[in-house]
Amino acid sequence: MNAPDALASAAAGMRAQAARLDLIAADLANAGTPGYRSLVPVGARFADRLGAAAGTSSAQGALRSTGVPTDLALSGPGYFAVATPDGVRYTRDGRLTADPSGTLVDARGNRVLGTLGPVRFPHRATVESDGRIVCDGQTIDRLRVVEVAGAVDQANGYCVALPGATLTRAAAQVRAGFLEDSGVNPIAEMTALVSSQRAFEANQKAAQRADETLRRAVTDVPAVHP
């Protein structure tokens, strides 16, 4: 490998490690966010990973009992569907509440969707494990819990189904009175943090060596062979 090649690959290595650090930082910032799924680099080829394109991991977070009937956790793969001003988005964050009009909303106030549009949630309603909303013995709606096959992107804390992705009803169980802990594994993230920092450093050293080699080629070689 000649010196300019070495410089270019060291630069690419530094870019890749910086992008990896971005993902680690986003994950660690969300170590306490219910229903959060950690980000994983996507793209089979090394070069694809440089752009920090990220998908979500499918690791299930631990379920934690809160005793609040509108706290919902999904046990198994799947997402709640939420109507945001930008369109339908998907999330596993089950910090839901009933707003004054009796509609079920997520922590940011966006409406949660059921089979018939936004879900009505009267005072004494409960959520069954199959997602049905039951009030006084009557099923009044069913939460839309979907699995997204195909590309999923994250934006603004929600998952977005990209064009071409297919949505199917998820088999996930809905657990009322529970929240899913963040899926971030702090030990793995901290280890990755250290390794990406060191890898960046190694690439920086390589770049410096390549630079040194080039400098010698430019200054020393002409001196020896005038």
Q: Which residues bind other proteins (CB under 8 A)?
A: 14, 17-18, 21-22, 24-34, 36-37, 39, 56, 66-68, 95, 97-100, 102, 105, 107-109, 123-124, 154-158, 179, 186, 189-190, 193, 196-197, 200-201, 204, 207-208, 211
**Displacement of CA 151 from its chain's centroid (Å):** 12
Nearer to other proteins, 76 or 102 (CB): 102
Least CB distance from residue 173 to other proteins, whole Å?
A: 21
Least CB distance from residue 176 to other proteins, whole Å?
A: 15
Nearer to other proteins, 173 or 204 (CB): 204
Nearer to other proteins, 169 or 198 (CB): 198
Q: CA 210 to CA 14: how far, in whole Å?
A: 14
Least CB distance from residue 220 to other proteins, whole Å?
A: 17
DSSP string across 169-209: E--PEEEETEEEPP---HHHHHHHHHHHHHHHHHHHHHHHH
Nearer to other proteins, 119 or 142 (CB): 119
Nearer to other proteins, 8 or 171 (CB): 8
Least CB distance from residue 224 to other proteins, whole Å?
A: 24
Q: CA 146 to CA 63: how far, in whole Å?
A: 19
Least CB distance from residue 225 to other proteins, whole Å?
A: 27
Nearer to other proteins, 80 or 200 (CB): 200
Nearer to other proteins, 76 or 186 (CB): 186
What is the rounded radius of gyration, in angstroms, for the C-alpha atoms of the chain? Answer: 24
Q: CA 132 to CA 176: how far, in whole Å?
A: 11
Least CB distance from residue 130 to other proteins, whole Å?
A: 25
Q: CA 63 to CA 190: how far, in whole Å?
A: 23
Three-state DSSP class for residue 167: strand
Task: Determine phi and psi for 170, rounding to 5 degrees.
Answer: -85, 150
Contacts of 38 (CB under 8 A, 6+ apart): 27, 30, 56, 57, 59, 182, 183, 184, 185, 189
Least CB distance from residue 3 to other proteins, whole Å?
A: 15
Structure tokens at 122: 């009267």
